[in-house]
């Protein structure tokens, strides 16, 4: 069991009456006339424990004490204001309880059960109260807590249950209230780790290259043991104590297959492995091509133009050109120092260029050029420029539709005319036959 020493929370409204004995009416009158009050917590009638000053008259004075064996005794509070003084009732503090947890220490995983018990070694006819982060746990709050006798039960712990807990036991003997309270016990709620993921990048160092492998889980409570294996051989390990992520440096040569890498995570409760990833960097090369597509509104007008740069390579850096001028990736300032938003946006790591407007000023020749992102001095590979302008598909479609309507109308008329002629000829033949 997890035992702790004790804390008692004492809160009193110490008013300042005009004499040692006052009725409720006198106390109310004194409260209304007071502006500021000084409070003193006294032990055994003579020992000053703590003070609270310059409080409003309608506010209680709260004192928090770490209880030891020497803290047992009688307590009362004394209030003074403007020459008037008042003394509260006395309570007796006896150290006879402890707070235990199951499991102990109180560290549990999400979804588990934890039981806190307020154990009292002396006394009978006891009542219990629980504090969570120094706020009383209401019996009606059964969704989060289950209060049964001297126990507080949390059947399915969530991260919201993590915090400081304490209990207070009390009973009334004759005319005196006896209290015993525990110190705060911190409950820690851990989250299960998710399946790890793996990714890698590459940087140039002098004349060589280094690979940077990242292993991470989207959730999980530290500490977490991360390890990296290449071709089933462990090449690095790291204990994450703050975030569920780890980084490893490995040898890397562009154009070569450096092996199959996997990340492993391990805690006292779990052991998971990531999907494999091949550590191979394909340099930029081959033909680079720009493909153009149009996005239309419901009225068949062009909403946007999409240009895609087709390129081969693992880590390409793409730059776009309009009429042989590089398109900047950020907003720029005009002559009045006002930010000007461009008529285009980049997506998919600059692989796609979207023209949000397309008029005469935006029409022209577009191309893309590519190099390896990890080698700033590397060569560029450029595509052929493609002409992008306001598409005439709408006009052509309208003309085609009009032509179809004319042809259809002509066909219907010819069929109708043919049927009318046949009917006339039939009538004439019948007449001459008669």
Q: Of 147, 172, 190, which residue is a domain's last? A: 190
**Does 381 share its domain with 400?**
no
Query: Considering the domain boundaries, does residue 341 fall inside one?
Result: yes
pLDDT at 336: 47
**Does 104 share its domain with 76?**
no
**Does 289 share its domain with 378?**
yes
- CATH number for the domain including 223? 2.60.40.10
pLDDT at 419: 57
**Does 134 share its domain with 45?**
no
pLDDT at 422: 53
pLDDT at 429: 53
**Does 62 share its domain with 105?**
no
Query: Considering the domain boundaries, does residue 434 fall inside one?
Result: no
Dist CA 100 CA 151 (whole Å): 10
Residue 332 in tokens = 């720029």
DSSP 133-170: TTEEPPTT-TTT-EEETTEEEESS--GGG-EEEEEEEE
**3-class state of residue 25 by DSSP:** helix
Query: Considering the domain boundaries, does residue 429 fall inside one?
Result: no
Residue 103 in tokens = 């499991």
**Does 291 share its domain with 386?**
yes
Q: Of 280, 309, 325, which residue is a domain's last? A: 280
Q: Where are the beta strands (DSSP E) in 157-269?
A: 163-173, 176-181, 185-190, 197-205, 208-216, 224-230, 233-240, 245-251, 257-266
Using alpha carbons, select from 64, 49, 75, 57 the residue that is nearest to residue 14: 57
**Does 313 share its domain with 385?**
yes
Query: Considering the domain boundaries, does residue 255 fall inside one?
Result: yes
Per-position pLDDT tens, the chain of length 434: 343 333 344 433 444 444 344 444 444 554 444 457 788 888 888 888 888 876 565 677 777 766 555 677 888 888 887 778 888 888 877 655 678 899 989 999 999 999 999 887 766 778 888 999 988 888 776 667 888 888 999 989 999 999 999 998 887 766 667 777 788 899 999 999 999 999 999 999 988 999 999 999 999 999 999 999 999 999 999 999 999 999 999 999 999 999 999 999 999 999 999 999 999 999 999 999 999 998 888 887 888 999 999 999 999 999 999 999 999 875 444 444 444 557 889 999 999 999 988 888 889 999 999 999 999 999 999 999 999 987 655 555 556 667 777 777 777 667 766 655 555 455 445 544 55
Query: 418 is in which domain, residue-wise?
Result: 394-424
**Does 79 share its domain with 47?**
yes
C-alpha distances in Å from residue 164, one per residue of 132, 182, 188, 191, 267:
6, 11, 9, 18, 25
Residues ≥6 apart with Cβ < 8 Å to 59? none
**Does 296 share its domain with 380?**
yes
Query: Considering the domain boundaries, does residue 431 fall inside one?
Result: no
Q: Of 141, 158, 190, which residue is a domain's last? A: 190
C-alpha distances in Å from residue 233, one per residue of 215, 249, 259, 278:
16, 15, 10, 14
Query: Considering the domain boundaries, does residue 290 fall inside one?
Result: yes
Q: Global pTM?
A: 0.61
Beta strands 208-216; 176-181: pairing state: unpaired
pLDDT at 200: 97
Query: Considering the domain boundaries, does residue 1 fall inside one?
Result: no
**Does 221 share its domain with 305?**
no
Count of domains forming the chain: 5
96, with CB counted inside 10 A (0-12, 13-18, 19+), is middle
**Does 297 share its domain with 360?**
yes
Query: Considering the domain boundaries, does residue 430 fall inside one?
Result: no
**Does 253 share its domain with 228?**
yes
């Amino acid at each position: 069991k997890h035992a702790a020493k004790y804390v008692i929370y004492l809160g009193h409204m110490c008013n300042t009456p005009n004499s040692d004995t006052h009725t409720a009416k006198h106390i109310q009158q004194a409260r209304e006339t007071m502006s500021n009050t000084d409070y003193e917590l006294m032990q055994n009638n003579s020992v000053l424990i703590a003070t609270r000053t310059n409080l409003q008259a309608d506010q209680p004075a709260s004192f928090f004490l770490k209880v030891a064996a020497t803290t047992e005794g009688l307590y009362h509070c004394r209030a003074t204001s403007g020459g008037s003084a008042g003394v509260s009732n006395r309570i007796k503090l006896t150290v006879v309880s402890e707070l235990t947890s199951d499991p102990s220490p109180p560290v549990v995983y999400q979804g588990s059960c934890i039981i806190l018990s307020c154990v009292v070694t002396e006394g009978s006819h006891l009542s219990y109260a629980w504090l969570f982060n120094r706020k009383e746990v209401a019996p009606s709050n059964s969704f989060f807590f289950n209060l049964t006798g001297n126990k507080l039960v949390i059947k399915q712990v969530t991260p919201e249950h993590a915090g400081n807990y304490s209990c207070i036991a009390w009973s009334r003997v004759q005319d005196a209230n006896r209290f015993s309270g525990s110190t705060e016990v911190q409950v820690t709620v851990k989250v299960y780790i998710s399946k790890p993921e793996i990714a890698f990048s590459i940087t140039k160092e002098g004349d060589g290259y280094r690979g940077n492998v990242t292993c991470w889980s989207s959730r999980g409570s530290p500490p977490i043991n991360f390890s990296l294996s290449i071709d089933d051989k462990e090449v690095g390990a790291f204990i994450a104590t703050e975030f569920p992520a780890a980084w490893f440096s490995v040898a890397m040569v562009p154009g070569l297959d450096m092996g199959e890498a996997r990340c492993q995570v391990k805690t006292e409760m779990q052991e998971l492995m990531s999907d494999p990833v091949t550590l191979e960097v394909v340099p930029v090369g081959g033909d680079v091509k720009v493909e153009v597509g149009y996005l239309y509104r419901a009225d068949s007008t062009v909403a946007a133009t999409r240009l895609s740069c087709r390129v081969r390579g693992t880590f390409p850096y793409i730059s776009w050109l309009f009429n042989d001028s590089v398109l900047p990736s950020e907003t720029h300032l005009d002559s009045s120092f006002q930010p000007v938003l461009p008529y285009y946006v980049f997506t998919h790591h600059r692989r796609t260029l979207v023209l949000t407007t397309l008029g005469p000023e935006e029409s022209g020749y577009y191309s893309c050029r590519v190099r390896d992102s990890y080698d700033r001095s590397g060569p560029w590979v450029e595509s052929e420029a493609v002409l992008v302008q306001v598409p005439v598909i709408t006009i052509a479609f309208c003309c085609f539709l009009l032509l179809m309507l004319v042809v259809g109308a002509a066909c219907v008329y010819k069929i109708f005319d043919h049927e009318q002629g046949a009917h006339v000829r039939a009538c004439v033949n019948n007449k001459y036959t008669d």
